[in-house]
Amino acid sequence: MAAVDRFSFLFTEISKTITAYTEAFAIIGTLYTAKKTLNTALQLYDVVKVHLVARGQQNLVTRFGPWAVVTGSTDGIGKAYAQELARAGVNIILISRSQDKLRKTARELETTFHVETLTIKADFSKGSEIYESISSQLQGKDIGILVNNVGVYDYPQYFVDVPLEKLWQLININIGAATAMSRIVLPQMIEKRKGAIVNITANTALHPTPQIAVYAATKTYLDFLSRAIQYECKDKGITVQSLMPSYVATRMTQFTDASPSVLIPSASVYARHAVSTLGISSRTTGYFPHTVQFWVSSMLPEWLWMWGSSRLNSAIRRKTQLTMQLREARLREKLPQL
Ligand SMILES: NC(=O)c1ccc[n+]([C@@H]2O[C@H](COP(=O)([O-])OP(=O)(O)OC[C@H]3O[C@@H](n4cnc5c(N)ncnc54)[C@H](OP(=O)(O)O)[C@@H]3O)[C@@H](O)[C@H]2O)c1
């Protein structure tokens, strides 16, 4: 009897403990579910606000200022973004490396949108030596918007196979330019207590990406830079936006052979959507279908992203290398005939 008594006593004690644990787990579960539900609701609210409600409601010149600087503005997203700003009446300062393309783009903007332009020829791959000249050419311009768009992407390769010189070019163009340009333009924005900086990052900023390790890392740098400067400037009337597109059909993504679609918009469709989010969101893809992709990507565990992107990049690398070998072979065949 005594043994049974002891057993029932033990059972009662264990039951009490289990009930206490169950209740604790139930509370943790409820809090976790509530947090997840609140996060999802806030994200949905943000999507509706950024992609639907806020579109086309603001005067960019009044809100930010009469001039915008766009780096890498003679092609792709940069050119399309400059066109959208010009459509809104903003005068454009174009910075790129080809004088002919600069002149042509500036003329198009002036005749189509009746805005003023200024062109600055600069090669961002050169590093720190170019900024004194850029800074002096920007003197006297009331700059309200800086779009740090310039960026280059080499085809996927293993890190050790990329020549060191190419790595420095990637660093100078993809992160050196945005860092230096922001440092040049921000003080006058702070003085006026208005302005916007847009850093074009990419959804590759979300996870480390094998075979485009440096490109992806430069985009993470830009995302972190944007968020930190946004925090520093939030009480100074300045907006710093991290703009994180997925694929956009430009010269950079020619290797995909994809024509523009809903998931891979043309640069002009992308820019129209992205500009409408300026001043509304400090971190966005700028384009609703990309926001859906972003959500999916951000939920993937890192190992799965690494594995998937590694396989995809291996396929792109092999295809690109084959195309390059074929091109070289054709050139060699032609050479003796010349
Ligand atoms: N396309 C995408 O799917 C995608 C996705 C995510 C993020 N992004 C980012 O979006 C930005 C624009 O990409 P994009 O696809 O529009 O590129 P793009 O079509 O290749 O255009 C790049 C622009 O930058 C200029 N540029 C290139 N190297 C330069 C240098 N060393 N100095 C000065 N200007 C230079 C080019 O001038 P030239 O015409 O003289 O070469 C061109 O105007 C990049 O930062 C990229 O990383 C693109």
From 79, 100, 150, 219, the mutation candidate for ligand 1 (largest count of ligand atoms within 8 A of CB) is: 150
- Please write the tens of the pLDDT for every residue from 80-104: 999 999 999 999 999 999 999 999 9
Give the atom of ligand 1 at the shortest distance from the alpha carbon of 173.
31
From 104, 154, 179, 250, the mutation candidate for ligand 1 (largest count of ligand atoms within 8 A of CB) is: 250
β-sheet bridge partners, residue 198: 147, 241
Residue 188's SS3 state is helix
Asked if 74 contacts 108 with a C-beta cutoff of 8 angstroms, the reply is no
Identify the CA nearest to 270 among candidates 92, 76, 135.
Answer: 76
Instruction: Kindly report the average pLDDT of the chain as a whole number.
Output: 92
Residue 118's SS3 state is strand
pLDDT at 179 over 90: yes
Tokens found for residue 166: 């190419």
Per-residue pLDDT band for 290 (boundaries 50, 70, 90) equals very high
Give the atom of ligand 1 at the shortest distance from the alpha carbon of 245.
6
Mean pLDDT on 307-322 = 94
Ligand 1 centroid to 32 CA: how many Å? 42
Asked if 145 contacts 120 with a C-beta cutoff of 8 angstroms, the reply is no
Residue 38 is predicted with a pLDDT of 84
Ligand 1 centroid to 12 CA: how many Å? 70
Per-residue pLDDT band for 7 (boundaries 50, 70, 90) equals confident
3-class secondary structure per residue, 138-168: HCCCCEEEEEECCCCCCCCCCHHHCCHHHHH
Identify the CA nearest to 248 among candidates 219, 271, 221.
Answer: 271
Question: 248 CB under 6 A from ligand 1?
Answer: yes
- How far apart (Å, rounded) are the C-alpha atoms in residues 43 and 59? 26
Catalytic residue of the set 81, 131, 153, 215: 215
Ligand 1 centroid to 72 CA: how many Å? 6
Mean pLDDT on 15-22 = 80
Mean pLDDT on 299-312 = 96
pLDDT at 57 over 90: no
Identify the CA nearest to 281 among candidates 49, 67, 77.
Answer: 49
Question: 131 CB under 6 A from ligand 1?
Answer: no
Mean pLDDT on 126-135 = 97
Question: 124 CB under 6 A from ligand 1?
Answer: yes
- Please write the tens of the pLDDT for every residue from 225-276: 999 999 999 899 999 999 999 999 999 888 777 788 999 999 999 999 999 9
Per-residue pLDDT band for 332 (boundaries 50, 70, 90) equals confident
Residues 6+ apart with CB under 8 A from 79: 73, 105, 267
pLDDT at 2 over 60: no
From 69, 73, 75, 219, the mutation candidate for ligand 1 (largest count of ligand atoms within 8 A of CB) is: 75
Mean pLDDT on 310-337 = 87
Going by alpha carbons, the residue nearest to atom 1 of ligand 1 is 248
Ligand 1 centroid to 68 CA: how many Å? 17
Asked if 107 contacts 129 with a C-beta cutoff of 8 angstroms, the reply is no
β-sheet bridge partners, residue 249: 266
Residue 46 burial by Cβ neighbours in a 10 Å radius (0-12, 13-18, 19+): middle
- Please write the tens of the pLDDT for every residue from 191-211: 999 999 999 999 999 999 999
Rounded to the nearest 5 percent, the helix, strand and coil shares of the chain are 65, 10, 25
Our answer to whether residue 221 is catalytic in this structure is: no
- How far apart (Å, rounded) are the C-alpha atoms in residues 303 and 309? 10
Going by alpha carbons, the residue nearest to atom 34 of ligand 1 is 96
- How far apart (Å, rounded) are the C-alpha atoms in residues 296 and 289? 11
Question: 154 CB under 6 A from ligand 1?
Answer: no
Phi-psi sector, 89: left (phi>0), alpha (psi -120 to 50), beta = left
